[in-house]
Structure 1
């Protein structure tokens, strides 16, 4: 009976351990600083997490399909720099669709390499991380970008505006999450994504166009990255060339925290949103208790390791390997 109880506890922690840890973090942060649950602080955390969250929504499709995308940080830098540069040259009405088109071309190229040429997604996107960073520096000439006439443009509405008191980035994040959530859970395309990630060979023999599904997932990811770049550019009205550097790890951490499996075939948009909020509140809590901002990098690393461990543990039904 004791062994059964321990097994059940191990399986529970493997599946819900990250939520248990989040609840404990929330309790500790609330006790350490009474400002943690202040409505203004909560709204600020959600708003600051919106850009990361939008990127995580697209990466969720890629991860569920059984692949990775480590290029999203560099791609977001590229999108932000491009839309800022084109804003002053051709105006925001043309700059925004032009930026989306260019970013989607990058996503299509990655999708072609991974989907149709069947190259390893880790190697391809790791290489594209450097390639897109170089492309960004080449495009900008190594210079940062700023909008000249900040007061005379409506461009700031995406990152700085609000609707009925709710910041626009939050509305865009939640609206996109709702649309993509329905696409993943209720459409034939979503079922194909799960099938390809769960067992690609079986999906192919079942008549599912595996290459096309993977290609489409990278297009979805690129669209979300372009949206995040738009939010970032609109929020700051200027940007450094490296604004997205390192975000790929935070995005991946949020997706895995939300329950998406690195092995593919599992995950939901709703849980990814929860994963984004978990990461945002933990980072905010660390700052409120007085830890320096660079401590977030260590905590993010620990969270990634913990999330991967719990993901593998959930697959084998326990926290510890039976062989050990």
Structure 2
């Protein structure tokens, strides 16, 4: 009927905005189930606890938009956390922090070289590096956890425990980094090259875009964000297990996909990634408030990833179900 809402219109809306619609439904349900859900202190707590995941997701957004994956970020975060904690007592925080950043960037550069210049499959490379970096972390730490000796005599805690004008420093770091990388992705020639490489790598190469260099730089940015997340984690706890980042790679990828970045490359924004991080954080917090155990989050994360991938593919073809089905 002319002017009416058709079945295809509803399907198209669900395909494009289904995650946000589901998020609104979740928020309403959690608010009804527990009145503390939207309390200011709970909201601030969720955003603060999501900052580490969010910082990592910012870098992975570049990688995914370029048409690649990075499954090494969890183990790389463990490595950076352990390294900065170990070096803190040996050489002091003013030298430990830059040393950790350099070491983490070297890992990112190595992955970028393999994927960008040698053109190896990013899934295979980063899956292998996940195990390799985990082994490197265990070797570096001797299989032991790390703790700062004199916790009350160092300014190192400011990155994870400090606040400015009532706003926790982790949130400020997340916000500032998101604003900077958002400008890089959306307002610079490099950002346009990232979209071009992810949208059609062959066409981008023939257009004169240095595809290998763009991919290499995306992995460098990802490792920079991971090092920042490791710094926040180490500063927040002032000690850490050597497996602190284990499993985070899937949560990071889920947040990026929830934000609308396509696994096929060429689409996504920093702003939408932030939304994806917050969706994941509030859903996990809501599940805990209604009484579900923390391990139920793993099942929910899996469901969310499947739903996000389905909606992503549906948005590309303009309908929820395959025409062949």
TM-score bin (small chain)? over 0.9
Which structure 1 segments of 5+ residues have no match? Answer: none
| Paired position in structure 2 for 1:97 | 98
| Paired position in structure 2 for 1:22 | 23
Equivalent-residue separation in structure 2 for 1:247 and 1:312 (angstroms) = 24
| Paired position in structure 1 for 2:84 | 83
Is the partner of 1:151 in helix, strand or coil?
helix
Is the partner of 1:156 in helix, strand or coil?
helix
| Paired position in structure 2 for 1:304 | 305
Cα distance per residue 1:217-274 (max 9 Å; x no partner): 0000000000000000000000001000000000000000000000000000000000
Note if 1:171 corresponds to 2:175.
no
Is the partner of 1:243 in helix, strand or coil?
coil
| Paired position in structure 1 for 2:275 | 274
Is the partner of 2:152 in helix, strand or coil?
coil
| Paired position in structure 2 for 1:251 | 252
Alignment of 1:184-263 (within 5 A): 184-263=185-264
Equivalent-residue separation in structure 1 for 2:234 and 2:11 (angstroms) = 45
| Paired position in structure 2 for 1:51 | 52
Equivalent-residue separation in structure 1 for 2:309 and 2:75 (angstroms) = 23
| Paired position in structure 1 for 2:10 | 9
Is the partner of 1:242 in helix, strand or coil?
coil
| CA displacement at 1:4 relative to structure 2 | 7.2
Single out whichever of 2-11 and 92-101 deviates more from structure 2. Answer: 2-11
Equivalent-residue separation in structure 2 for 1:223 and 1:25 (angstroms) = 33
Cα distance per residue 1:173-211 (max 9 Å; x no partner): 000000000000000000000000000000000000000
Equivalent-residue separation in structure 2 for 1:10 and 1:211 (angstroms) = 38
Is the partner of 2:11 in helix, strand or coil?
helix
Note if 1:132 corresponds to 2:133.
yes
Is the partner of 1:155 in helix, strand or coil?
helix
Equivalent-residue separation in structure 2 for 1:236 and 1:12 (angstroms) = 43
Note if 1:290 corresponds to 2:291.
yes
Note if 1:181 corresponds to 2:182.
yes
Which structure 2 segments of 5+ residues have no match? Answer: none
Equivalent-residue separation in structure 1 for 2:209 and 2:294 (angstroms) = 46
| CA displacement at 1:8 relative to structure 2 | 1.1
Runs (4+) of structure 1 exceeding 3 A deviation are 1-4
Alignment of 1:35-46 (within 5 A): 35-46=36-47
Cα distance per residue 1:26-72 (max 9 Å; x no partner): 00000000000000000000000000000000000000000000000
| Paired position in structure 1 for 2:322 | 321
| Paired position in structure 1 for 2:147 | 146
Q: TM-score, normalised by structure 1?
A: 0.99
Equivalent-residue separation in structure 2 for 1:52 and 1:148 (angstroms) = 27
How many residues were matched structurally? Answer: 324
Cα distance per residue 1:85-130 (max 9 Å; x no partner): 0000000000000000000000000000000000000000000000
Equivalent-residue separation in structure 2 for 1:10 and 1:183 (angstroms) = 34
Equivalent-residue separation in structure 1 for 2:312 and 2:178 (angstroms) = 23
Equivalent-residue separation in structure 1 for 2:314 and 2:63 (angstroms) = 22
